[in-house]
Amino acid sequence: MNYSGAEILIKSLEAENVDTIFGYPGGQVLPIYDALYDADIRHILCRHEQGAAHAADGYARATGRPGVCLATSGPGATNLVTGIANAHMDSVPLVAITGQVPWSLLGRDSFQEADITGITLPITKHSYLVRDPSELARIVKEAFYIATTGRPGPVLIDIPKDVSSTVNEYIVPEELHLPGYKPVSEADSWQVVEAAKAIAASERPVIYAGGGVIISGAHEELLRFAELLMAPVATTLMGLGGFPGTHPLSLGMLGMHGTKYANFAVCECDLLIAVGARFDDRVTGKLETFAHEAKVIHIDIDPAEIGKNVRVDIPVNGDVKIVLKQLMNVLQPRLGEAWREKIQMWKKEYPIDFCDNRELKPQAVIREIYRQTGGDARITTEVGQHQMWTAQYYTFSKPRSFISSGGLGTMGYGMPAAIGVQAGCPGDTVFDIAGDGSIQMNIQELCTAVNYELPINVAVMDNGFLGMVRQWQELFYNRRYSQTKLFNPDFVKLAEAYGAEGFRVTKRSELAPVLEQAIRSSKPVMIDFMVESEENVMPMVPPGESLSKMLG
Amino acid sequence: MTHTLAVLVENTPGILARVAGLFSRRGFNIDSLAVGRSEDPGISRMTIVVEGDDSILEQVTKQLHKLIDVIKITDVTRDDFVDRELVMIKVNTETSTRAEIMQLVDIFRARIVDVGPKSLTIEVTGYESKINAFENSLRPFGILEMVRTGKVAMLRGFKSITISDHQKREETN
């Protein structure tokens, strides 16, 4: 049977069990949208291609299945770029499909032509420019395989219009032939043995768990591993939810805005076990003093991460879920009372807390969201102060419940991501915890949420500032608030104009009842929390400083 | 320390851009890069000369391996190897200097490939220090133009850098 390239594409997506695509039509994807018209795949029309990319990213992070976004050539494709870079930095399986001008016009600066495979070269795991419809089925299969295996990441497929409209035979691709791509799973046994020896010899171990724990589905293994060693666990921003925040061994988050006890524990440990984490500068602070008394074991699926930023004593290259099992097979339970007592003392002495004056503080809002959702909601965030407060005051205990732009730090990520999360997890309560700056970067997606009846809750921590930048200006630039004071629209009216419900909370007494109403509502809701304007995120490690030198 | 890497890649469009882009964005320095078809028509072979200590080389290798189309990387400098570079030099000649230049061509076992009224175009192959010495000896006459292919390298003896060898090794591992 013969099909158009576009039909082959849709058949190939169906073969990958794609149920949802986030996209935006345009000239060079007309054949693809025509084929979609009859397909069983749900298409969610976002209001900006960046929104489509973030929504697909949020869908992928919440469900663990690859997210798919679709855009036209030129500006459609370039609008995906931030979303693709975001997925690349946080290892999110994303398949981005773009239209391209026909081969006959390629390279002639044609209308809406952009070299998107060239533009995205540094921010994709792999990319394809399709030459012939006969390649399409194989390329789609490869793309999904590459995006989802090993260290996941975005793969781009650029399809010229003549390729999507030319008729060709559809042959289901057989075995993939990728001689240069062999993701690891098990670690070499000598690495496991070395790691086990170091663990047995350590007195003050700390587990430093990153997003790799969640990606590989290793949360249960991590819990058993930590309990076997009785070792405390500090997570990165991306690792939140990978270890229960309510567990006595949990140290919460480490790094720039981490808990004091997590940072003290890392400074004084004699063994640091990094599990699916990549020693980002926001985690390590000054590299020379980071865990300087410790041996370092680095467990990661990506060999290029091992030894990239810090000296590693024992590399363990493998899928963290499998490696943790390998380690537990050879390890004996241990106790380490003195070390745990010291950490308990730090926890008592330096709890994560804020000065609660019964005013409407952003931290109090987040604690109340936690209380009312019982920690069961899926939380997305934008980027800034509200993101850090969410990490500090919403105690995450389940994997894939905290969905945030970690590596790239993309303002405007949260709301489209929440749409993707809600589309992938229809029954769940979804919150986008936002700032009044970030929320306006993709505000148009509120229309998408209303359009598709996705009842997300958008909680805007409205302090009238680009809060995180203002905080740095306060601390490091003599309070010269250059371009950080915001003029805002009326968010309640704006929500209503889009067809969502809008609420405003100005007093602490209104917080609980309005939140209850929002969670009960079956419509998308936006709540404008008029929070204290110059609250700071504390504690804080000043940039480039040692973790032991925390402010606040 | 200079390392010479033999990199086998799938012969796909864009692979050169992927490799070159990787070096520039990660801040690695390439001394030279030569590409061409290998004994297998589907596989291209790149010879990349890179400057850096062991930790840089480790990162270069690991990052290169992350490219899907890169199949195999061998640091030939860790073994016995031969390397060669081909250079063409167009040198200014006067009637008075022509003989002297032709003598140098003989000494360096180079070849004259084109003769003009006021110039000679000379081809020379060899290892780097020989080529540098030849270039320096021609410099006083006035080098009008020079083009170098970049280094290519191969292991000595029966050992070879091929894909089937790679697959065989993987099966035994």
Residue range A48-85, pLDDT digits in tens:
999 999 999 999 999 999 999 999 999 999 999 999 99
Domains contained in chain B, number: 2
| Domain contains B160 | no
Same domain for B66 and B96, yes or no, is no
Same domain for B106 and B123, yes or no, is yes
| Domain contains B158 | no
Nearest by CB to B163, from A178, A179, A303: name it.
Answer: A179
Query: What domains, with CATH codes, occur in chain A?
Result: 2-169 (3.40.50.970), 189-349 (3.40.50.1220), 362-530 (3.40.50.970)
Mean pLDDT confidence for A271-294: 95
ipTM: 0.90
Give the burial class of A522: count Cβ atoms within 10 A of its Cβ; 0-12 exposed, 13-18 middle, 19 or more buried.
exposed
Cβ distance of A180 and B18 shorter than 8 Å: no
Same domain for B90 and B120, yes or no, is yes
Q: How many CB pairs under 8 A join A and B?
A: 43
CATH number at residue B96: 3.30.70.1150
Same domain for B55 and B87, yes or no, is no
Within 8 A of B68 by CB-CB distance, chain A residues are: 125-126, 146, 178, 180-181
- Interstrand relation of B143-148 and B81-92 (parallel, antiparallel or unpaired): antiparallel
Q: How far is A110 from chain B (nearest CA, A)?
A: 21
| Domain contains B20 | yes
Average pLDDT of chain A to the nearest whole number: 97
Same domain for B105 and B89, yes or no, is yes
Q: Tens of pLDDT along A429-453?
A: 999 999 999 999 999 999 999 999 9
What's the pLDDT score for residue A172?
87
Same domain for B53 and B87, yes or no, is no
| Domain contains B162 | no
Cβ distance of A307 and B55 shorter than 8 Å: yes
| Domain contains B65 | yes
A256 is catalytic: no
Nearest by CB to A304, from B14, B62, B71: name it.
Answer: B62
Say if CB A128 and CB A68 are below 8 A apart: no
Same domain for B9 and B73, yes or no, is yes
What's the pLDDT score for residue B167?
53
What's the pLDDT score for residue B4?
96
| Domain contains B123 | yes
Range A349-356 contact pairs with CB under 8 angstroms and sequence separation of 24 or more:
A350/A259, A350/A260, A350/A261, A350/A264, A350/A539, A352/A252, A352/A259, A352/A260, A352/A392, A352/A393, A352/A539, A354/A535, A354/A538
Nearest by CB to B14, from A117, A180, A308: name it.
Answer: A117
Q: Is pLDDT above 70 for A315?
A: yes
A468 is catalytic: yes
CATH number at residue B7: 3.30.70.260
Sign of the C-alpha dihedral computed for residues A298, A304, A308 and A313 taken in this order: positive
| Domain contains B164 | no
Choose the final residue of a domain: B46, B79, B112. Answer: B79
State which residues of chain B have pLDDT below 50.
Answer: 166, 168-173
Same domain for B71 and B104, yes or no, is no
What's the pLDDT score for residue A456?
98
Same domain for B101 and B134, yes or no, is yes
Cβ distance of B58 and A307 shorter than 8 Å: yes
* Residues above pLDDT 70, as percent of chain A: 100
Q: Tens of pLDDT along A476-489?
A: 999 999 999 999 99
Domain range for B67 is 2-79
Same domain for B71 and B101, yes or no, is no
What's the pLDDT score for residue A344?
95
Choose the final residue of a domain: B79, B114, B138. Answer: B79
- Alpha-carbon distance A314 to A524, whole Å? 49
* Catalytically annotated residue among A125, A161, A260, A321: A161
Within 8 A of A180 by CB-CB distance, chain B residues are: 9-10, 65, 67-72
| Domain contains B163 | no
Within 8 A of B13 by CB-CB distance, chain A residues are: 129
The DSSP H or E segment spanning A478 is none
- Alpha-carbon distance A308 to A274, whole Å? 13
Choose the final residue of a domain: B39, B57, B79. Answer: B79
Within 8 A of B62 by CB-CB distance, chain A residues are: 303-304
Same domain for B91 and B47, yes or no, is no
Same domain for B72 and B90, yes or no, is no
Q: Does A118 touch chain B (CB under 8 A)?
A: yes
Mean pLDDT confidence for A540-544: 94
A112 is catalytic: yes
